C-alpha cells in the first residue's frame, strides 16, 4: 500500500498509509482463493464475512462490499486502520502459510473509505420501536458499537460521554496520522442518523450515578468506559515538569489539537530530546507524535527486547522508518531536573532477560552497576493504563476484581448488578479496539434478549 | 475579578462545597478548571468567580450575557469534609475568597464557630466581603498595601489570632500558592490541621491524564479526583509551583495572539 515518505511524514500529522487505489484493491482481492471454510472469519472478533466482502471487491461493487462488512462491524474505516490483522484474520489466512496473506485490513479500509467518500451511506432498516431505553456509558469503540447494534433493534439509545467530544480513545488517544478524526466524526454522525442520542460533558459516577440513570427511566445500562487511569512507575523525579503520561500527551495533541497551538489554545511541551517509556502501540503513537512536534531525537526506552514488545510490528516499523531510536533492555530508575524543576535527564539501568514470568515473556532483570543518563528535555510515560474507579465506587453491588476492573461475563457482558452490562477495557484491561467491539456486540445481544424477555 | 452565573442544572443539583467545574469557551479553547462559589438548585445555576489571567479567562470575561459556553463539566473533585470541628479559621486570599466562601457557609451550617480572614492586594479587588462577614463569628480583613483592614498578609492575621490564645480546631486556607504555603508554615508548629485547595493545571479533570499530579506526604495524587483539597502540611508546594509554570511561555504567546471566538 502506498505510504507517505518517512522523511516527509515525520514532519506532518497527515495519515501515513495512503490507501489502495481501485486497481490495487482489485488486484489484492484477486489473491483470495475463497476458501469453503474460511479460517480468516474465525480469526475475526466480530465475524465479518471476509470472503463475501472480498468477492464484492473483485466484482468492483465497493459499496456492496462496505455494506457486507457493516452487517457485523459498524466501524470498518476504523478497524481497517487500527486492528492487529496480523494476529487475527490475516494470521489465519491460508495464503499466509506459504507467502503473504490477503491484505484483509487494507481492503476493509479501502471499501469503508470508498463508501464514506461517495456519500452513498445506506441507513439500515431498524426494528420497530420497542419503547425500551438503554444508557451507554462511554463513546469509545465499545460504546459506539453497542449503540449501533441496539438502535437497529428498535431500542432508544443514549450515549453519555465525559469529554466534550464523542469517540473515546479514537479521538483522544489514537493520533491523526494513524486515524484521521474526520473518520471518527463520520462514524459518530452515522450513529446520530440512526437515532442514537449522544450527550457529552457528563461523567457517569459524578454528574449522575448508574442508579440515577435507572431513576431517569433507562431499562438497561452498558458500561464501556475504558481503562482510563494512567500508570506511572513511581520512580524519583517522575513529577518534574516536562514529564507526561501518554494519556495526557496524546489528549493534548489529539483531542485538544495542541499540535496546532496557538490556533488552538491548549499548549504542549515541545521537546528536543524526548524519552518515551514503554513498548506498546501507545508508546509508538507518543514517540511518533513527539517527532512530528519537532523533536531532534526521540528514544523509545523499553525494558525488554523488540521480540517482547506488545506494539504491532507495523507500528514499530513505521516508528523506525521515521527515525525513532530504540533503547532496548533499558529501564528508567530516576529523572533528573534542572533548576526550574524541568526534566533534563533520565537515569537508566541496563536489563538482561532472565527466566520467563507469568506473562510467558522472559523477565527483565537489572544489570548491577550499568546505570547511565540519557539527556532528555521531555518524557512520555507510556507503560499502560488502569481502571478509573469512579463508576465502581458509586455503583453499589457492582463487583470489581483486585485491579478495579468490572467483573462481567465473557459471553454476555452481564455484571453482578442486574440490568448493568460492561465490555471493553474496563472489563479486560487495556486491549484492542476490535476486542472491545466484540464484547459490545455480545452485550448488545444479551441486552436485547433481556429487554424482550422483560416485555 | 469576574463573577459569572451559568445555567447548568445538572451541575447545580449535585454541587457541594469544595467542588469545581471544567469549562471551554469555544471549540478551539482550552479546558480550564474553575471552583464553584455557589449554586442554586431552584433556578439551575452555578456561580463562578475568576481572575483574568490568560486567554481563556479573557475570552470568558468578554462573553455577553446569554451566550453559550462550548462545554461545562462538573461537579468534579471530592467535596469538602464538613463536620462540626469546633472553631474553624477560614482564610481566603484573592480569588481564593470565592473558593473558601462556600466552604465557610457549609462549616457554619454544621455548627462551627467561624473566624474568617480574607485578604487581597488592595481594597478594590477584595471580593465577597459582606457575604463572608455574614457567615462569620469573627471577621478579619488584610490588604497587602494597607488600603483596608490590617496592613499585611492574611498569614500575619492568622498568627495574631493564634497568639491571642484562641483555640483553633482546623484551618481552611485557599488562595495563591505562596499564601497557602505560608499559612501552612504558620499552623505547623501548633499542629493545627490545615486544609488547602490546590489548583494545578488540568486537562480532562476526571482522573485520566495525570496533568494535575501533586505530591502529598510523598505520594503522587491527582488533584482532580483525589483532591482538590489536601492536608496542607503534607503538600509539596515547590513542585506545585514549578508545575504551574510549565506553560508560562505558551500562555504569553496565547495572550499576545488573543482573539476570542465569540467575537469573530
| Contacts with B43 (C-beta within 8 Å, 6 or more apart), sequence order | none
Indicate yes or no: CB of A229 within 8 angstroms of CB of B207: yes
Question: Distance between alpha carbon B180 and the CA centroid of its chain, in Å?
Answer: 11
C-alpha dihedral sign at A283, A286, A290, A292: positive
Question: Distance between alpha carbon B102 and the CA centroid of its chain, in Å?
Answer: 10
Cβ-Cβ contacts under 8 Å, A262 against chain B? 250, 253-254, 257
Task: Give the number of other CB atoms < 10 A from CB of residue A125.
Answer: 6
What pLDDT is attached to residue B262? 53
Taking CA atoms, A418 is separated from A396, A403, A430, B222, in Å, by 11, 22, 25, 32
pLDDT for B264 beyond 50: no
Q: Which of A247, A164, A240, A167 is nearest to A200 (CA)?
A: A164
Query: In angstroms, rounded to a whole number, what is the distance separating the alpha carbons of residues A298 and A248?
Result: 18
Work out the minimum CA distance from A430 to partner chain B, whole angstroms.
Answer: 14
Indicate yes or no: CB of A265 within 8 angstroms of CB of B246: no
Query: In angstroms, rounded to a whole number, what is the distance separating the alpha carbons of residues B181 and A257?
Result: 35
What pLDDT is attached to residue B210? 95
Q: Which of B99, B34, B17, B27 is nearest to B73 (CA)?
A: B34
Work out the minimum CA distance from B79 to partner chain A, whole angstroms.
Answer: 11
Question: Distance between alpha carbon B204 and the CA centroid of its chain, in Å?
Answer: 19
**pTM score:** 0.93
Interface test with A, best of B7, B16, B21, B28 (most A CBs within 10 A): B28
List phi, psi (to 5°) of A414: -65, 135
Indicate yes or no: CB of B208 within 8 angstroms of CB of A247: yes
Chain B contact present for A261, CB below 8 A? yes
Domain regions of chain B by residue span: 2-76, 87-197
pLDDT digits (tens, 9 = 90+) for B13-64: 999 999 999 999 999 999 999 999 999 989 999 999 998 888 899 999 999 9
Task: Give the number of other CB atoms < 10 A from CB of residue A27.
Answer: 12
The DSSP symbol for A406 reads B
List phi, psi (to 5°) of B11: -70, -45
Indicate yes or no: CB of A265 within 8 angstroms of CB of B213: no
Interface test with B, best of A167, A251, A265 (most B CBs within 10 A): A265
Indicate yes or no: CB of A202 within 8 angstroms of CB of B238: no
Helices A104-118 & A62-70 angle (0-180, nearest 10): 110
Indicate yes or no: CB of B253 within 8 angstroms of CB of A262: yes
List phi, psi (to 5°) of B240: -55, -45
What pLDDT is attached to residue A358? 84
The DSSP symbol for B31 reads P
| Contacts with A386 (C-beta within 8 Å, 6 or more apart), sequence order | A227, A229, A230, A231, A403, A404, A429
In the three-class reduction of DSSP (H, G, I as helix; E, B as strand; rest coil), residue A205 is classed as: coil
What's the count of helices (H) and strands (E) in chain A, helices before strands?
Answer: 18, 16
Cβ-Cβ contacts under 8 Å, A341 against chain B? 238-239, 242-243, 245
Cβ-Cβ contacts under 8 Å, B29 against chain A? 265
List phi, psi (to 5°) of B182: -65, -40
In the three-class reduction of DSSP (H, G, I as helix; E, B as strand; rest coil), residue B142 is classed as: strand
Q: Residue B143 corresponds to which cell in the numbers above?
A: 490588604
Chain B contact present for A34, CB below 8 A? no
C-alpha dihedral sign at A323, A324, A328, A333: positive
Express as a percent the part of chain A with pLDDT over 70.
Answer: 100
Return the bridge partners of A204, or none: A208
Q: List alpha helices for A352-403, DSSP H.
A: 390-394
pLDDT digits (tens, 9 = 90+) for A98-147: 899 999 999 999 999 999 999 888 888 889 999 999 999 999 999 999 99
Q: Just give the CATH number of B2-76.
A: 2.40.30.10
In A80-183, the DSSP E strands lie at 133-137, 156-160
Instruction: Give the chain B residue nearest A244 (alpha carbons).
Output: B211
Helix or strand holding residue B59 (H, E): helix B55-62
What pLDDT is attached to residue B261? 64
Span B87-197 CATH architecture: 3-Layer(aba) Sandwich (3.40)
Q: What is the pLDDT along chain A (455 residues), one digit of tens a residue?
A: 888 999 999 999 999 999 999 999 999 999 999 999 999 999 998 899 999 999 999 999 999 999 999 988 888 999 999 888 988 999 999 999 889 999 999 999 999 999 999 988 888 888 999 999 999 999 999 999 999 999 999 999 999 999 999 999 999 999 999 999 999 999 999 999 999 999 999 999 989 999 999 999 999 999 999 998 999 999 999 999 999 999 999 999 999 999 999 889 999 999 999 999 999 999 999 999 999 999 999 999 999 999 999 999 989 999 999 999 999 999 999 999 999 999 999 999 999 999 888 888 889 999 999 999 999 999 999 999 999 888 998 999 999 998 899 999 999 999 999 999 999 999 999 888 989 999 999 999 999 999 999 87
Amino acid at each position: 500500500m502506498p505510504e507517505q515518505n518517512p522523511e516527509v511524514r515525520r514532519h506532518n500529522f497527515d495519515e501515513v498509509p495512503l490507501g489502495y487505489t481501485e486497481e490495487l484493491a482489485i488486484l489484492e482481492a484477486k489473491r483470495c482463493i475463497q476458501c469453503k471454510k474460511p479460517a480468516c472469519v474465525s480469526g475475526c472478533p466480530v465475524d465479518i464475512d471476509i470472503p463475501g466482502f472480498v468477492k464484492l471487491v473483485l466484482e468492483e461493487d465497493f459499496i456492496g462490499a462496505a455494506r457486507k462488512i457493516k452487517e457485523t462491524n459498524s466501524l470498518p474505516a476504523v478497524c481497517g486502520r487500527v486492528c492487529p490483522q496480523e494476529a487475527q484474520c490475516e494470521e489465519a489466512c491460508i495464503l499466509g502459510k506459504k507467502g503473504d496473506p490477503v491484505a484483509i485490513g487494507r481492503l476493509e479500509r479501502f471499501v469503508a473509505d470508498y463508501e464514506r467518500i461517495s456519500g452513498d451511506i445506506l441507513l439500515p432498516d431498524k426494528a420497530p420501536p420497542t419503547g425500551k431505553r438503554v444508557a451507554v456509558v462511554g463513546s469509545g469503540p465499545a460504546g459506539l458499537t453497542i449503540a449501533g447494534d441496539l438502535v437497529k433493534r428498535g431500542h432508544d439509545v443514549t450515549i453519555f460521554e465525559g469529554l466534550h467530544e464523542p469517540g473515546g480513545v479514537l479521538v483522544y488517544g489514537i493520533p491523526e496520522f494513524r486515524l484521521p478524526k474526520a473518520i471518527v466524526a463520520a462514524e459518530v454522525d452515522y450513529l446520530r442518523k440512526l437515532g442514537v442520542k449522544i450527550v457529552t460533558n457528563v461523567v457517569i459516577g459524578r454528574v449522575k450515578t448508574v442508579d440515577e440513570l435507572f431513576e431517569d427511566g433507562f431499562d438497561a445500562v452498558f458500561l464501556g468506559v475504558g481503562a482510563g487511569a494512567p500508570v506511572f512507575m513511581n520512580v524519583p523525579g517522575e513529577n518534574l515538569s516536562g514529564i507526561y503520561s501518554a494519556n495526557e500527551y496524546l489528549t493534548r495533541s489529539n483531542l485538544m489539537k495542541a499540535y496546532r497551538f496557538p490556533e488552538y489554545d491548549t499548549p504542549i511541551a515541545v521537546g528536543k530530546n524526548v524519552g518515551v517509556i514503554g513498548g506498546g502501540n501507545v508508546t509508538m503513537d507518543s514517540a511518533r507524535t513527539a517527532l512530528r512536534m519537532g523533536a531532534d531525537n526521540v528514544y523509545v526506552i523499553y525494558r525488554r527486547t523488540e521480540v517482547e514488545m506488545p506494539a504491532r510490528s507495523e507500528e514499530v516499523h513505521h516508528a523506525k522508518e521515521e527515525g525513532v531510536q530504540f533503547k532496548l533492555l533499558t529501564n528508567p530508575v530516576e529523572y533528573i531536573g534542572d533548576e526550574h524543576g524541568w526534566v533534563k535527564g533520565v537515569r537508566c539501568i541496563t536489563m538482561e532477560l532472565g527466566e520467563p514470568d507469568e506473562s510467558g515473556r522472559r523477565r527483565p532483570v537489572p544489570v548491577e552497576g550499568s546505570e547511565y543518563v540519557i539527556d532528555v528535555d521531555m518524557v512520555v510515560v507510556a507503560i499502560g493504563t488502569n481502571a478509573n474507579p469512579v463508576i465502581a465506587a458509586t455503583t453499589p453491588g457492582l463487583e470489581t476484581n483486585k485491579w478495579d476492573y468490572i467483573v462481567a461475563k465473557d459471553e454476555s457482558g452481564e455484571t453482578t448488578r442486574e440490568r448493568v452490562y460492561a465490555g471493553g477495557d474496563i472489563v479486560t484491561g487495556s486491549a484492542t479496539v476490535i476486542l472491545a467491539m466484540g464484547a459490545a456486540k455480545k452485550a448488545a445481544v444479551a441486552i436485547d434478549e433481556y429487554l424482550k424477555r422483560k416485555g | 475579578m469576574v463573577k459569572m452565573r451559568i445555567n447548568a442544572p445538572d451541575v447545580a443539583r449535585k454541587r457541594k462545597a469544595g467542588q469545581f467545574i471544567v469549562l471551554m469557551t469555544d471549540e478551539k479553547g482550552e479546558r480550564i478548571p474553575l471552583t464553584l462559589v455557589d449554586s442554586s438548585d431552584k433556578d439551575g445555576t452555578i456561580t463562578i468567580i475568576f481572575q483574568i489571567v490568560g486567554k481563556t479567562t479573557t475570552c470568558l470575561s468578554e462573553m455577553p450575557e446569554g451566550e453559550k459556553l462550548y462545554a461545562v463539566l462538573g461537579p468534579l473533585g471530592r467535596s469538602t469534609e464538613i463536620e462540626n470541628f469546633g472553631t474553624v479559621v477560614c482564610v481566603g486570599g484573592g480569588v481564593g475568597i470565592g473558593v473558601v466562601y462556600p466552604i465557610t457557609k457549609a462549616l457554619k451550617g454544621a455548627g462551627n464557630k467561624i473566624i474568617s480572614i480574607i485578604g487581597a492586594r488592595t481594597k478594590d479587588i477584595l471580593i465577597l466581603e459582606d457575604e463572608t462577614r455574614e457567615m462569620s463569628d469573627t471577621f478579619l480583613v488584610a490588604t497587602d498595601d494597607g488600603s483596608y483592614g490590617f496592613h499585611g498578609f492574611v498569614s500575619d492575621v492568622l498568627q495574631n489570632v493564634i497568639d491571642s490564645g484562641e483555640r483553633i480546631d482546623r484551618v481552611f486556607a485557599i488562595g495563591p500558592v505562596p499564601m497557602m504555603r505560608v499559612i501552612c508554615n504558620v499552623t505547623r508548629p501548633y499542629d493545627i490541621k490545615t486544609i488547602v485547595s490546590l489548583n494545578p493545571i488540568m486537562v480532562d479533570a476526571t482522573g485520566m491524564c495525570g496533568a494535575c499530579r501533586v505530591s502529598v506526604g510523598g505520594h503522587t495524587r491527582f488533584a482532580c479526583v483525589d483532591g482538590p483539597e489536601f492536608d496542607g502540611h503534607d503538600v509539596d508546594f515547590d513542585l506545585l509551583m514549578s508545575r504551574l509554570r510549565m506553560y508560562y511561555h505558551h500562555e504569553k504567546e496565547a495572550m499576545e495572539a488573543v482573539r476570542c471566538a465569540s467575537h469573530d
